[in-house]
Chains A and B, each alone.
Chain A
Amino acid sequence: MKMVTKSVSNPALSENTFWIKDLSTSTALLDINFKFVDASYQLKRKFYLEDADILGKTIFEIFPSFSRDWKEKMRFAMEGLKDIQVMVKIDMLNGSSKKVLWRLNAWRNKEGSTIGLVINAEDVTKVKDLERELLKLKNRLSEKGELAKIGSWEFLVEQEQILISQNAQKIFDLNNCSQFSLGLLQKLLGENNKELIQQTLFEAIQNGIPWNKSLKVCLKNGDEILMNTIGRPKFKNGKCHRIVGTVQIVNIKTESASNQTNKINALNASKKVEDYFSNSPSAMVLLDVSNRKILRVNEELLKIVNLKQQHLQFKNYSEFLKNENKSTLLLIRKQLRDFGKFEKIDIPFISESNEQKTLSVSGKLVNFEENLLCEIKDVTEDRKREKDLANNLKKSNNHIKKLVNYTHIITHNLKGHATNFSLMVDLLKETSSQKEYNQILNVLKYSTENLSETIGDLRSMVAIKENYTSKKSSLLLNDFVYKALQNLSGEIRKVDAKVINEITNSQKIVAFPFYLENILTNCISNAVKFRKLTKTPIISISATTTKEYTILSIEDNGVGMNLSERGDKLFKIGSSLGNLSDSKGMGLYLTNYQVEIMNGKIEVESTPNEGSIFKIFFPNN
């Protein structure tokens, strides 16, 4: 037989071994010379091997720790002895080592002849680790048991013997006595408990009823203790053969005493909280998170929201958050989830009397996250002040910007005048012709007038600053229209302009008196300046009152303008409408400036060659 086997080169190599590849276990096939024929991926993965490393090599070459002494065992396996186990420690490439349990079995072909070995590796490092862990846990449990004075016991029913743990021995002050009879137990627990013990044991053994009972026990040293014991009967073949359970000391005196103190403390604490809550100078509300109900509110809160206790208590608080936007609520929810509290956040509130308020609310989850304690502050006035302040600051900045712009233009303008003067004086000196002399003088006169006007504008700008602090008042509009017309009477007469005043004598307007006069003068003057030379200038002045504004309209039939080209520049300094006549680009700038200071606005309608309408909106309040 041996000869035959040898003459066939190697029957193992002609076997189909693909089935082994995907086995979930770490398995390999060895031929009769212990050379690897094939191995599962699992095995290769486990030991970081590849086919090229192992195929055709003996197991001793691959795993040097696989002692040759095991050869005998492998032979036994090949001869048919089943499931031979060999424990081998294998050093891994990464420096660690694994304990591996190898199972050896014969590998037979279809005909049933042995052609090699099937070996199976099982990593038992883990198992060993788990065993160690279990031991640790047992020790820890026993430590804890000792601290808590819990011991365990087992009652063997047939033998009527009791086995008790070390902790239980300590409880009963029994040294090195892990086993005793039922009689001794009854002695230990005292006559008083005899009946109870018998009854309990009977119920457990006969009816399988577990127990959890407290017994008063007098110990050897005379201490009276309260002992808690739990027992569970265990059945085998329908018969209770043992009862397992625990025993624990709970000192009756201490227990009840500490309980009482706790209760008193808790009462005091809650009374303190109560006092603080009701008498707090801050407004507070306690909410129930689960049903969204308002549990408690304090006096201060009632003052802020101007409601009675019964309007709030046990109401759903969502009702009061109707106006709140979702993002604020989401923010609050997120903060509560992440930190258990939320920082001050503004929430709008509309009171019964339709008064709009801004409440600053912060809150914290209390009572095991069941309740939300909120502190509330009425910041309506604060926010209003802040808003006013921001507005004023914005306005002031605007004024400053305008003043800087204005100063810039004025300086520039004055410089232009000065240069022109000096140049003209030079020309005047040089000229010999009387005609040219007169011409230069005329231009000088014009320039002087121009300069006076510029300076006049500068003064009215200063006047704006001076008058800014004076009060707006309700004025009779026509008084000021007449004043303006008087100021301009020379100009109006010169061009023979017709002024139609449609304003009734009772028409009132809210404005700074100085500004109103200035605005009217400027606008009428503009209408005169930009007249059409071919037509009689007609200027109509009218006023209408809406809920918000009193609107003053000044309409002319002058040259008009293309607003799409000029609209945005109209009220900018230095780019006014002048040109056909003289203008330094300040009139409309000043008018607009004054209107803006009074919180009004100007609208312009205009058609080139037809005329313009300037509408000035004065706010009524």
Chain B
Amino acid sequence: MQKKLKSILLLDDNLATNFIHKKFLQKANCAEQIIDFRSGINALKYLTQQGIRQPDMIMVDINMPIMSAWEFLELYENSRQITKTDTTIVLLSTSLSPADKEKADNTPVIKEVLLKPLSVESIQQTIDKHFNK
């Protein structure tokens, strides 16, 4: 029996992509709550609120204007207001450039890089890999 997560945070600037991914996550029935944002700033605002429960998994699009995934992750990592628990970070990308690949490999907090668009299967596999040990 697959474990159901409490919450997953989705971060992608493209409205349609975010919408579709949210639908797929719901279909995969892997989390009680799915929160989506289209900018890193808004996501950080949410995460730094007092008393909220940190999501079990954050899925972040690598290529976003204004604040890229890298900038977002740096601010996230360095934020004192966020109590880092067991949040699994997954990077989303359409095509990974060699520079991004190297950067992802060298960033320990990134547990996995997934190609967009996600599918119900790829979501389930990821959850299995990181949560059903």
Chain B, Cβ-Cβ closest to A415: B94
Determine whether the beta carbon of B65 is less than 8 Å from that of A583.
yes
Determine whether the beta carbon of A412 is less than 8 Å from that of B94.
yes
- In the assembled complex, which residues on chain A have CB atoms less than 8 Å from the CB atom of B64? 579
Determine whether the beta carbon of A579 is less than 8 Å from that of B67.
yes
Known: A423-B117, A427-B23. A579 touches B15 (CB 8 A): no
Query: Is B48 part of the binding interface, using a Cβ–Cβ cutoff of 8 Å?
Result: no
**Using an 8 Å CB-CB cutoff, how does the interface string of B1-34 with A read, 1 for contact, 0 for none?**
0000000000001111101100100000000000
Determine whether the beta carbon of B95 is less than 8 Å from that of A578.
no
Chain A, Cβ-Cβ closest to B19: A443
Determine whether the beta carbon of B117 is less than 8 Å from that of A419.
yes
How far apart are the CA atoms of A574 and B68 in the complex, in Å? Answer: 11
Known: A412-B94, A412-B95, A580-B39. A424 touches B65 (CB 8 A): no
- In the assembled complex, which residues on chain B have CB atoms less than 8 Å from the CB atom of A444? 16
Determine whether the beta carbon of B39 is less than 8 Å from that of A579.
yes
**Using an 8 Å CB-CB cutoff, how does the interface string of B66-77 with A read, 1 for contact, 0 for none?**
111001000000
Determine whether the beta carbon of B16 is less than 8 Å from that of A446.
yes
Partner of A424, one of B13, B20, B67: B20
- In the assembled complex, which residues on chain B have CB atoms less than 8 Å from the CB atom of A561? 66
Known: A423-B117, A578-B66. A443 touches B39 (CB 8 A): no
Give residues 20-59 of B contacting A (CB, 8 Å).
20, 23, 38-41
How far apart are the CA atoms of A556 and B15 in the complex, in Å? Answer: 26
- In the assembled complex, which residues on chain A have CB atoms less than 8 Å from the CB atom of B71? 565
How far apart are the CA atoms of A227 and B19 in the complex, in Å? Answer: 122
**Using an 8 Å CB-CB cutoff, how does the interface string of B110-133 with A read, 1 for contact, 0 for none?**
000000110000000000000000
B1 CB to nearest chain A CB (Å) = 25
Query: Is A246 part of the binding interface, using a Cβ–Cβ cutoff of 8 Å?
Result: no
Known: A577-B65, A577-B66, A583-B65. A416 touches B17 (CB 8 A): yes
Query: Is A58 part of the binding interface, using a Cβ–Cβ cutoff of 8 Å?
Result: no
Give residues 76-117 of B contacting A (CB, 8 Å).
94-95, 116-117
Total number of B residues with any Cβ neighbor in A under 8 Å: 23
Query: Is A575 part of the binding interface, using a Cβ–Cβ cutoff of 8 Å?
Result: yes
Determine whether the beta carbon of B16 is less than 8 Å from that of A575.
no
- In the assembled complex, which residues on chain A have CB atoms less than 8 Å from the CB atom of B41? 579
- In the assembled complex, which residues on chain A have CB atoms less than 8 Å from the CB atom of B95? 412
Determine whether the beta carbon of A575 is less than 8 Å from that of B17.
no
Known: A416-B94, A419-B117, A579-B39. A443 touches B66 (CB 8 A): no
Counting chain B CB atoms within 10 Å of each CB, the highest count among A427, A439, A574, A577 belongs to: A427
Determine whether the beta carbon of B20 is less than 8 Å from that of A578.
no
Query: Is A363 part of the binding interface, using a Cβ–Cβ cutoff of 8 Å?
Result: no
How far apart are the CA atoms of A444 and B20 in the complex, in Å? Answer: 11
Chain A, Cβ-Cβ closest to B39: A579
Chain B, Cβ-Cβ closest to A578: B65
Known: A416-B14, A446-B15, A565-B71. A579 touches B20 (CB 8 A): no
Chain B, Cβ-Cβ closest to A421: B16
A410 CB to nearest chain B CB (Å) = 13
Determine whether the beta carbon of B13 is less than 8 Å from that of A578.
yes
Known: A416-B17, A420-B20, A443-B19. A579 touches B117 (CB 8 A): no
Query: Is A142 part of the binding interface, using a Cβ–Cβ cutoff of 8 Å?
Result: no
- In the assembled complex, which residues on chain A have CB atoms less than 8 Å from the CB atom of B14? 416, 420
Chain A, Cβ-Cβ closest to B118: A423
Determine whether the beta carbon of B15 is less than 8 Å from that of A580.
no
Query: Is A576 part of the binding interface, using a Cβ–Cβ cutoff of 8 Å?
Result: yes
How far apart are the CA atoms of A585 and B14 in the complex, in Å? Answer: 12
B130 CB to nearest chain A CB (Å) = 24
Known: A420-B117, A424-B20, A427-B20. A579 touches B94 (CB 8 A): no
- In the assembled complex, which residues on chain B have CB atoms less than 8 Å from the CB atom of A439? 19
- In the assembled complex, which residues on chain B have CB atoms less than 8 Å from the CB atom of A427? 20, 23
Query: Is A447 part of the binding interface, using a Cβ–Cβ cutoff of 8 Å?
Result: yes
A285 CB to nearest chain B CB (Å) = 59
How far apart are the CA atoms of A416 and B35 in the complex, in Å? Answer: 22
Partner of B38, one of A417, A440, A565, A579: A579
- In the assembled complex, which residues on chain A have CB atoms less than 8 Å from the CB atom of B15? 443, 446-447, 582
Determine whether the beta carbon of B67 is less than 8 Å from that of A447.
no
A530 CB to nearest chain B CB (Å) = 9
- In the assembled complex, which residues on chain B have CB atoms less than 8 Å from the CB atom of A415? 94
- In the assembled complex, which residues on chain B have CB atoms less than 8 Å from the CB atom of A579? 13, 38-41, 64-67
How far apart are the CA atoms of A468 and B38 in the complex, in Å? Answer: 37
- In the assembled complex, which residues on chain A have CB atoms less than 8 Å from the CB atom of B17? 416, 420
- In the assembled complex, which residues on chain B have CB atoms less than 8 Å from the CB atom of A420? 14, 16-17, 20, 117
Determine whether the beta carbon of A424 is less than 8 Å from that of B39.
no
In addition to A416-B14, A566-B66, A580-B66, 8 A-B residue pairs with Cβ atoms within 8 Å of each other are A412-B95, A415-B94, A416-B17, A416-B116, A419-B117, A420-B17, A579-B41, A585-B65
Q: Can you name 22 A-B residue pairings with CB atoms under 8 Å?
A: A416-B14, A416-B17, A417-B16, A419-B116, A419-B117, A420-B14, A420-B16, A420-B117, A424-B20, A427-B23, A440-B19, A447-B16, A561-B66, A574-B63, A574-B65, A575-B65, A575-B68, A577-B65, A579-B13, A579-B41, A580-B39, A582-B15
